[in-house]
């Protein structure tokens, strides 16, 4: 059962509907699910298989439909295929197709120039979006500016805390900074803490007021086994070795193009998602 004082929505991070079922069994609730190309590639039904380009989309569609069946009231994030050369128009076209699969989709676009262009048009076309591969406060400011006018609930932003920790920076600081910066805004973007690796990430995301968090099944099961704590436990405190990420004063009312959205982890993450997806496809 959902803890009474829990405001943050809890999503499962997985490309496997069987894990949705297990997550529901472990927690007795789930508010949604995020998928990405690497997670879908890890689905046991895809592992070691090769698909044609059409088949792989059919497979993704069946996965997403099954997840949506388990979580009819929740949100299901479906990620577009994009590499460094994919234009915004192509991402938008995919987004529209994916949104037609289920009624509760948030379309994931990368937080790159083309991804932001696609998202800007997507929200004008009434699509819900989840901006992914976010590693900096400037990217968060750009997401806010590019999607202005969208209604609350239609835009998520996914900062990847675990991948920042991996390079020695305190990923949770980014959540704190974005939540703080968005207090000066109109509230139309919801913060979805992603790349969660531990119960400590969960409790800190809750304490910082993250609207949503997404975590792998194992971490959610650990959290459930620990009694679903909503406050930091002593043993969960981040190691002091992580370098703090400092708050930046940014004006959310600038055009999104004014922000420096470049981040090496965004580029690296985009390339890895594309590679994992392409590995599923039989090359002619
Ligand atoms: C979710 O939306 C993200 O794609 C996911 O949390 C990334 O997690 P990872 O850094 O463990 O791959």
What is the whole-number distance in angstroms between the Cα of residue 284 and the centre of ligand 1? 30
The Cα 143–Cα 120 span in angstroms is 9
| Residue 283's pLDDT band (cuts 50, 70, 90) | confident
pLDDT value at residue 231? 87
| Atom 1 of ligand 1, residue of closest alpha carbon | 194
What angle is formed at CA 60 by the lines to CA 54 and CA 65, rounded to 5 degrees?
Answer: 125
Q: Which domains does the chain have, with CATH numbers?
A: 9-278 (3.20.20.70)
Establish whether residue 34 lines the binding site of ligand 1, counting it when its CB lies within 6 angstroms of any ligand atom. Answer: yes
User: Given its phi and psi angles, is residue 177 left (phi above 0), alpha (psi -120 to 50 degrees) or beta?
Assistant: alpha
Establish whether residue 195 lines the binding site of ligand 1, counting it when its CB lies within 6 angstroms of any ligand atom. Answer: yes
pLDDT value at residue 232? 72
Q: What mean pLDDT, rounded, does the chain reach? A: 96
pLDDT value at residue 88? 98
Concerning whether 108 is annotated as a catalytic residue, the answer is yes
* pLDDT at residue 18 tops 90: yes
| Residue 26's pLDDT band (cuts 50, 70, 90) | very high
Least confident of 27-36, 63-72, 93-102, 226-235: 226-235
| Residue 234's pLDDT band (cuts 50, 70, 90) | low
The Cα 105–Cα 34 span in angstroms is 10
What the block records as the tokens of 28 is 């007795």
Establish whether residue 160 lines the binding site of ligand 1, counting it when its CB lies within 6 angstroms of any ligand atom. Answer: yes
| Atom 10 of ligand 1, residue of closest alpha carbon | 195
Query: Do residues 170 and 153 make contact, with C-beta atoms less than 8 angstroms apart?
Result: no
Put simply, whether the predicted model's pTM sits higher than 0.75 gets the answer: yes
Q: What are phi and psi of 161, to 5 degrees?
A: -70, -45
Provide the total of helices (H) and of strands (E) in the chain, helices listed first.
11, 8
The Cα 212–Cα 226 span in angstroms is 20
Query: Do residues 32 and 213 make contact, with C-beta atoms less than 8 angstroms apart?
Result: no
Ligand 1, atom nearest to 77 Cα = 2
Query: Do residues 237 and 172 make contact, with C-beta atoms less than 8 angstroms apart?
Result: no
What is the whole-number distance in angstroms between the Cα of residue 195 and the centre of ligand 1? 4
């Amino acid at each position: 059962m959902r803890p009474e004082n829990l405001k943050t929505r809890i999503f499962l991070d997985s490309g496997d509907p069987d894990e949705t079922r297990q997550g529901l069994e472990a927690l007795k609730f789930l508010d949604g699910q995020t998928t990405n190309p690497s997670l879908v590639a890890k689905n046991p039904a895809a592992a070691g298989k090769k698909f044609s380009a059409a088949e792989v989309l059919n497979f993704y569609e069946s996965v997403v439909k099954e997840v949506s069946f388990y979580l009819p009231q929740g949100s299901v994030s479906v990620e577009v295929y994009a590499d460094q050369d994919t234009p915004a128009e192509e991402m938008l076209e995919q987004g529209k197709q994916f949104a037609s699969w289920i009624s509760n989709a948030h379309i994931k676009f990368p937080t790159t120039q083309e991804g932001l262009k696609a998202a800007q048009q997507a929200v004008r076309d009434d699509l819900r979006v989840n901006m992914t591969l976010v590693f900096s406060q400037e990217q968060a400011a750009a997401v806010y500016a590019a999607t202005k006018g969208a209604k609350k609930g239609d835009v998520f932003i996914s900062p990847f805390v675990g991948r920042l920790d991996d390079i020695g920076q305190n990923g949770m600081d980014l959540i704190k900074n974005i939540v703080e910066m968005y207090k000066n805004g109109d509230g139309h973007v919801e913060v979805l803490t992603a790349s969660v690796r531990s119960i400590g990430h969960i409790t800190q995301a809750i304490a910082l007021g993250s609207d949503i968090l997404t975590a792998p099944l194992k971490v959610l099961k650990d959290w459930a086994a620990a009694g679903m704590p909503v406050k930091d436990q002593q043993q969960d405190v981040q190691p002091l070795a992580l370098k703090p990420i400092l708050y930046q004063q940014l004006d959310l009312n600038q055009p999104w193009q004014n922000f420096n959205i470049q981040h090496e982890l965004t580029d690296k993450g985009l390339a890895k998602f594309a590679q994992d997806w392409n590995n599923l496809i039989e090359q002619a």
